[in-house]
Structures are given as structure tokens and as C-alpha cells.
Structure 1
Amino acid sequence: MKTILTLLVAVFVSTASFGQAKKEAVHIYNPQANAKADIAAAVVKAAKENKHVLLQVGGNWCSWCIAFHNLVDSTTTLKKYINDNFETVLVNYSPENKNEAVLADLGYPQRFGFPVFLILNGKGKVLHIENSAYLESDEKDANGKAKLGHDVKKITSFLKGWTSTAVNPETYKAKAK
């Protein structure tokens, strides 16, 4: 009886061990990154290229942050639009590094949850903070249930309103005839 019980325990323990395959960690955000230096470098580059800076604040723990990153990465037109018009910096917010001083300088954008997006001009001034909830899909599936995720059209519309051309007053002056 003890042999059968020992055998059953051994089978149970080995099955439980194999059943808990380790999920690979996501490494989109870098907790060790120097956010202040990364932002400063992006601002300098953006100024030279007549672009703005797009900051995405979030963490590897945040499923919505990862979903947004994957959506951009897999949507060629959106990825190209961002690359053509913005210098992008991923700013980590996690227990390992909350970047509290950087976020304080940026106006505490974490108040909107994660991910949160900021647009900076070529001088590093915050032009806009966007709550990512406004960029979520309104679509429903065949059963009327809300589809989860961000909407490419809403993201594109948001970004178009914050390019360097869009906020340049010269863009809107009447052309001389």
C-alpha cells in the first residue's frame, strides 16, 4: 500500500511540475533604462528632424501596454506613421523603477493609468497627455460583446493631431494668391 501511495504521489508531483510550464516574461520596457537620458536624446533628435517625441509610459506587467506595443508592431501603416512623425521612447513604470522624478517633471501622467502617452515638442515641453482608454475599440463582436484592444483609427487620429506640422501655426495661415 505504501508503495502505491508513494508511486501516486511521485506521479502527481511530476505531473504538476510539467503542467506548470514557465511563461516567458515580456521585455518591452527596460526597468534599468535611464528615462531622463533617453527622453533628452529623443528630444534632440526630434528637433533636428522636425518631429515630436511620443512617450509611452507603462511596464512589462501591463497587459494593455503590451497589447498596444504589439498592435503598433504588427500594423505596418501605424508603425510607419509613428516612425515618420515621432521619436518614440518607452518609459518604464514598475516596482523595480517607477521613474517618479521623471514622471513628476512630466506632470504625473500615471494619473491616467497605463499605458499613457505623452507628446513632447523638440524642446522637451509636454504638449499633450493622452489617456489610452480613449483609444480603445468601440467595436462589438457577433454576440454584441465589446472587443478588447485599441483602435488603429483612433490612435492614428490622435497622432495626426500632434505632429509637428499639425501644431505649427504656419500650417494654417492663408496662402497668398
Structure 2
Amino acid sequence: MKKLILIAFVAAFTLSARAQEQPKIYNSDADAKAEIKAAVKQAAQQHKNVLLQIGGNWCIWCLRFNDLVTKDADLNKYLNDNYVVLHVNYSKENENKAVLADLGYPQRFGFPVFVVLDGKGARLHTQNSGYLEEGKGHSKEKVMDFLKDWSPAAIDPKTYEKAK
């Protein structure tokens, strides 16, 4: 009996320690609508787009994506040069239903899901993250292609005008 109690205690302690190791990149108490408004304002001032990463701290794929784009120097630089990034929470504590409805129900693609807004707050694109996956993570090349495809330069009509 003592062995069972000891094993249960060790297992509970191990699970608790692992739960504490997970980064907390999503805030279930945040006012997503206000944060999006501020991100759009900042993007307009900096001539960037907004990248909403929608998910939760419970989502391993959300954490893996964040880990990739923050630790890979190329992705991190490109992301910061072209986007204002905002993590929008979806969890049992706060599903942000009204905000997600305004964004066209991106949760239909699972999590994480990415929504790109321009500097006026218009939704440009919703990205299913499944298309960016490779193995047990996300492909650096696919993520970079996605970021480049929806960067301010990529959607600027001047990019496509012929030189006179």
C-alpha cells in the first residue's frame, strides 16, 4: 500500500512539474477585442500586418508553432519585420466566441489557426495550420512561405505594377 501511495505521489508531482514547464503564451483573461484593435493600430503605424495566432496553452501544436517562430532566427526576424503578432486565447475558460465570429469562425480549422489582418483591421486570410505541419512540428519552409505570401509587400498592388 505504501508503494502505491509513493508511486501516485511521484506521478502527480511529475505531472505538476511538467505542467509548470509549459510556457503561457495565451491569456484567458485578456480582452481579445481590445487587444486586436491595439494590434491593428500598431500595424498601421508600422506598415505591417497583424498575425493572430488563435489557440490555447492547452494546445501542444500552438506551443510548438510559437517555439519554432521564436527560436528560429530567420522566422523570428521575418515575423517581427512584417507582422504585429497577437495570441488570441481559445479555452474552456474563455472561448472568445464573439471575436471568433467576427473573424469568420476560424476555429473550424482546429488549433492553432492563423488570421492575417491588414493595418485597417480587414481580414486578409485564414490559415489552417495543418498545411504548415511536418512530422511532429511545423515546417520552417512552409511557415516562411505562408508569412511571405501574406506580408504587406506581397499584397501591395505596387509590387505587381509594371515598370514604365
- Structure 1 length-normalised TM: 0.86
1:10 deviation in Å?
2.7
- Structure 2 length-normalised TM: 0.93
Q: Distance in 1 between matches of 2:142 and 2:123?
A: 21
Alignment partner of 1:34 is 2:31: yes
Q: 1:140-160: CA deviations, max 9, x gaps?
A: xxxxxxx22110100100110
Counterpart of 1:65 in structure 2 is 62
Q: 1:78-128: CA deviations, max 9, x gaps?
A: 011000000000000000000000000010000111000011000000000
1:30 deviation in Å?
0.6
C-alpha RMSD over aligned residues: 1.1
Q: Distance in 2 between matches of 1:56 and 1:122?
A: 16
Q: Distance in 1 between matches of 2:3 and 2:139?
A: 47
Alignment partner of 1:16 is 2:8: yes
SS in 2 for 1:60: coil
Unaligned 5+ runs, structure 2: none
Counterpart of 2:156 in structure 1 is 168
Counterpart of 2:108 in structure 1 is 111
Counterpart of 1:6 in structure 2 is none
1:167 deviation in Å?
0.4
Determine which structure has the larger helix proportion and give its number: 2
Alignment partner of 1:90 is 2:87: yes
Counterpart of 2:138 in structure 1 is 150
1:71 deviation in Å?
1.1
Partner AA of 2:82 in structure 1: N
Unaligned 5+ runs, structure 1: 1-8, 138-146
1:127 to 115, 124, 129: 124
Count how many residue pairs are aligned between Structure 1 and Structure 2. Answer: 159
Q: 1:44-84: CA deviations, max 9, x gaps?
A: 01001110000000011111111111111211110110000
